[in-house]
Homo-oligomer: A and B are copies of this chain.
Amino acid sequence: MLPRVAGNSDLEAIATPALVVDAGALEHNLATMATALPGARCRPHVKAHKTTALAARQHAIGHVGFTCATPREVIGMADAGLGEDLLLANEIVHPELLATLAGLDARITIAVDSEPTIEAAARAGIRECLVDVNVGMPRCGCPPDDAGRLAELARDEGLMVRGVMGYEGHVVGLQDRAERERRCGESMALLAVAREAVGGDVVSVGGTGTFDCNMSGTEVQAGSYALMDTAYGALDIPFRLALCVLATVISVNPRNRFAVADAGLKAFGMDHGNPTVTTFDGAETETWYCADEHVVFAPAESAPLPGVGDRVRVWPAHIDPTVAYHERMHLVSGSEILETWPIDLRGW
């Protein structure tokens, strides 16, 4: 059952589709994480919200270091005065972008996993790096048994090697907790090999799905926990769905019992599947499909059809790409818009 949220006044007036963040749910999520992994134990990943105003809330609750996925995220965080300890947890070889990062008034650490990434970083004047280690997901990261050699090369090139990073992205979404813990342990055993060879203080790991079962890192790169989505909402983790897309019913088909609202696949990351539509009484509906600017859905047989002009809430299956499609998010309490935040770290 998805959250039931009242809606009227302020929210009723805004144009749709619009990203809406429930202030209470966000507060709960931030506080829950800050209790479980206080201060530097959590390095929030900004790729999941791309919003410096939200990052400032995470900073205020004690997390001073942040994880970024793109140079623009790093630059935007530094520009927003949130650059005490920024990790670009991604490889990059573009000389001008690297030089821009090196010139920021911020502490920048970059992931490296190969000779070319180390050489490009060193040449551009980057000062600190983590060795990115492949811990089982087919993506970036060197083989664990090559991490020591790369750390040595990085030090030879003049880089400070702060430690290792390993993201068990193939594990974070596993439904069964025992399985999640077991496979997380396997990944972390691989990372331990690399850590031993690399040295340094930092072992940067994990994500929202493993925040409470990965105890082998010095810090967890959790991002989705702040806003959440229906995919992570299906796991047994203590975070609430805080973000939805407010939409307006623009067409109703009584003969075939479906309705159409004005938020479509351009308003949602679709890679995790369809979003879920709830009417304002909190009733879940069946999503038929999304077109570019439409979601087509059917209420339960026992429920009434909505009317044209009614508002619905549409809950994304994947938070990161959803946020990246929008220009702003509204922080709301009930029907009141408290603040409107630009999603200022999106794009490239």
A130 within 8 A of B: no
- Report which residue of A15, A140, A271, A296 has the largest number of chain B beta carbons within 10 angstroms of its beta carbon: A271
User: Cβ of B69 and Cβ of A293 under 8 Å apart?
Assistant: yes
Q: Of all chain B residues, which has the CB nearest A309?
A: B93
User: Cβ of A250 and Cβ of B90 under 8 Å apart?
Assistant: yes
A248 within 8 A of B: yes
Q: A293 → chain B, closest Cβ, in Å?
A: 5
- Looking at the complex, which of A190-198, A253-261, A278-286 is the stretch in contact with chain B? A253-261
A269 within 8 A of B: yes
Q: Interface digits, A17-44 against B, CB 8 Å rule (1 contact, 0 not)? A: 1100000000000000000000000000
A81 within 8 A of B: no
User: Cβ of A255 and Cβ of B143 under 8 Å apart?
Assistant: yes
Q: A106 → chain B, closest Cβ, in Å?
A: 19
Interface residues of A (CB under 8 A from B): 13, 15-18, 47, 69-71, 90-94, 96-97, 113-114, 116-117, 120, 134, 138-141, 143, 169, 248, 250-253, 255-256, 258, 260, 262, 265-267, 269-271, 288, 290-294, 296, 307-309, 320-321, 324-327, 347-348
The listed residue (B117, B138, B347) touching A326 by CB distance below 8 A is B347
Further contacts, 9 of them, CB under 8 A, given A15-B94, A91-B250, A113-B251: A15-B97, A69-B292, A69-B293, A91-B251, A117-B308, A138-B256, A140-B250, A143-B255, A325-B325
Q: A100 → chain B, closest Cβ, in Å?
A: 10
The listed residue (B253, B267, B348) touching A134 by CB distance below 8 A is B253
| Residues of the B chain whose Cβ atoms lie less than 8 Å from the Cβ of A17 | 348
Q: Of all chain B residues, which has the CB nearest A252?
A: B114
Q: Of all chain B residues, which has the CB nearest A92?
A: B250
User: Cβ of A348 and Cβ of B18 under 8 Å apart?
Assistant: yes
Q: A339 → chain B, closest Cβ, in Å?
A: 19
User: Cβ of B256 and Cβ of A296 under 8 Å apart?
Assistant: no
Q: Of all chain B residues, which has the CB nearest A347?
A: B327
Q: Of all chain B residues, which has the CB nearest A143?
A: B255
User: Cβ of B325 and Cβ of A324 under 8 Å apart?
Assistant: yes
User: Cβ of A321 and Cβ of B266 under 8 Å apart?
Assistant: yes
Complex CA gap A169/B264 in Å reads 15
User: Cβ of B296 and Cβ of A139 under 8 Å apart?
Assistant: yes
**Known interface pairs A17-B348, A324-B325. Does A116 touch B294 (Cβ–Cβ under 8 Å)?**
no
**Known interface pairs A97-B15, A265-B269. Does A116 touch B321 (Cβ–Cβ under 8 Å)?**
no
